[in-house]
Structure 1
Amino acid sequence: MSLNSIFQFFVPKDKKFFPLFEQATENLTTMSAVMIELVNSKTVDERNALIRKIDDLEHVGDNITHNILTELSRNFITPFDREDIHDLASVIDDVADYLNGSAKDFLLYDIMDYSQAIKDLVHLIHEGAQELQVAVRELNGLKNTKLIREAMVKIHSVENKADNVLDQALADLFKHEEDVKELIKMKEVLSMLELATDKCEDAANVISSIVLKNS
């Protein structure tokens, strides 16, 4: 048992890190839900408003990450390893960054025709974000590690499905798209979305490590 784990028996229930992590995953779930609205938008004005909303939410996430890292610098005793706190905050922030980057690509490339592959990837990101929210909530006290493990399995499944969606979408693009500029544009958008699911899986791996160390 680590020194940090021993200290946990003598300190009150954490009132700093867990609420912040829950805020971070809730914000991420909200962002991904807005992304679903975005890929179903019908007008330029609606698209642009939703992109601004996603950008605002990404800034909210940045502030939460900053608060987590600030608390980390101030507190000697933490609910789990300091490196894990830093890594989890960073990868949750990464998911938000890739979501925001994807939304900005829609604006940059003036995309209004969202392919089924784009919609599928966005839905998978939302599913991954929801499972992260479940897992982070259950980290507090580690009373139900079964729920955490179930969420981790679902996130790994999401990432595998996203890989398949990306592979098939790129294969179709290279087979049927004759406009090189269009091909490059869509490849960038699809790859950015798939990277968001990769970061969800990275977060799941950090959470799995936390559970292993503290169970």
Structure 2
Amino acid sequence: MFGRLMPTEGKFFELFNQHAELCVKGAKEMVALMTNFDDLEIRVHAIEGIEKQADQVTHHAIDMLHKTFITPIDRDDIHQLITRMDDILDLLEDAAQTISLYDIKAITPEAKRLAELCLGCAEKVKAAVGLLHNMDNSREILAICVEIDRLESDADHVMRAAMSKLFRDEPDVRTLIKLKAIYELLETVTDRCEDVANIIEGIIVENA
């Protein structure tokens, strides 16, 4: 009984770190998928496996949240942070499965660039989450969050340019629809990374 009353600070932050690492792994697999279509199904399977691991981490964190009376940071912040990070991998999995389902024969430079920006955002999320256990790191964490916002803005610009080019130059309607869906999923990954950054900024404001 008394164990439930004790702060389990280290455990929550360990789970955040585990999940953030899986986000990076998933994003790396997406970049690899975009780089070499010969390994498409291998990469899709790898991303699906990583997403399942992340689900387990998320469920563990939420279960622990329900069983812990005293938490190191606000309970809602813990829940939002872990679920938004889980959204990142859900979307990466959706993008990979969509590429496979739509039988895309060749990827565009714009899609590859969006995947690279997803990876950049995921790496910054991992860096920020890794420092979150110590509020003395608040200045560095906030600087990383600014970088995530910048990368998300870059993804917005790439997305708009990609859509403009697609509607201007792509003569095949089916190909247009397929690529549009992939662009949107990848750009939404960076949106979720920005959501994570916003949650982290709120945690810093409340606790630093």
- The question of a shared fold, defined as TM-score above 0.5 by the shorter chain, is answered with yes
Equivalent position of 1:30 in the other structure = 25
Equivalent position of 2:50 in the other structure = 57
Contact 2:7–2:72 (CA<8 Å) still a contact in 1? no
Equivalent position of 1:193 in the other structure = 186
Contact 2:7–2:68 (CA<8 Å) still a contact in 1? no
CA deviations over 1:177-196 (Å, ceiling 9, x no partner): 11111111110010010000
Runs of 4+ in 1 over 2 A off after TM superposition: 10-13
Residue 87 in 1 paired to residue 85 in 2?
A: no
For 2:8 and 2:47, the matched residues in 1 are separated by 33
Offset, 1:91: 0.5
Offset, 1:41: 1.1
Counterparts of 1:108-127 in structure 2, within 5 Å, are: 108-127=101-120
For 2:119 and 2:50, the matched residues in 1 are separated by 15
Provide closer, same or farther for how the CA distance between residues 39 and 183 of structure 1 changes in structure 2, counting only shifts above 3 A.
Answer: same
Match of 1:105 among 94, 98, 101: 98
CA-based RMSD of the aligned residues comes to 1.3
Equivalent position of 2:40 in the other structure = 47
CA deviations over 1:50-79 (Å, ceiling 9, x no partner): 110000000001100000100100001001
Equivalent position of 1:17 in the other structure = 12
CA deviations over 1:19-71 (Å, ceiling 9, x no partner): 0000000010011011111101142xx11011100000000011000001001
For 2:8 and 2:16, the matched residues in 1 are separated by 15
Deviates more, 1:125-134 or 1:111-120: 111-120
Could you tell me the TM-score, scaled by structure 2's length? 0.95
Offset, 1:15: 2.3
CA deviations over 1:153-177 (Å, ceiling 9, x no partner): 1100011000000100000011111
Equivalent position of 2:129 in the other structure = 136
Contact 1:24–1:92 (CA<8 Å) still a contact in 2? yes
Q: Quick one: which amino acid aligns to residue 107 of structure 1?
A: S
Offset, 1:13: 6.8
For 1:42 and 1:189, the matched residues in 2 are separated by 15
Query: Which of the two has greater helix per residue?
Result: 2
CA deviations over 1:133-160 (Å, ceiling 9, x no partner): 1111111021211220111011000110
Q: Quick one: which amino acid aligns to residue 20 of structure 1?
A: L
For 2:152 and 2:96, the matched residues in 1 are separated by 20
CA deviations over 1:102-128 (Å, ceiling 9, x no partner): 000110111231111111111101010
Could you tell me the TM-score, scaled by structure 1's length? 0.92
Unaligned runs of 5+ in 2: none
Contact 2:145–2:197 (CA<8 Å) still a contact in 1? yes
For 1:34 and 1:136, the matched residues in 2 are separated by 21
Offset, 1:132: 0.6
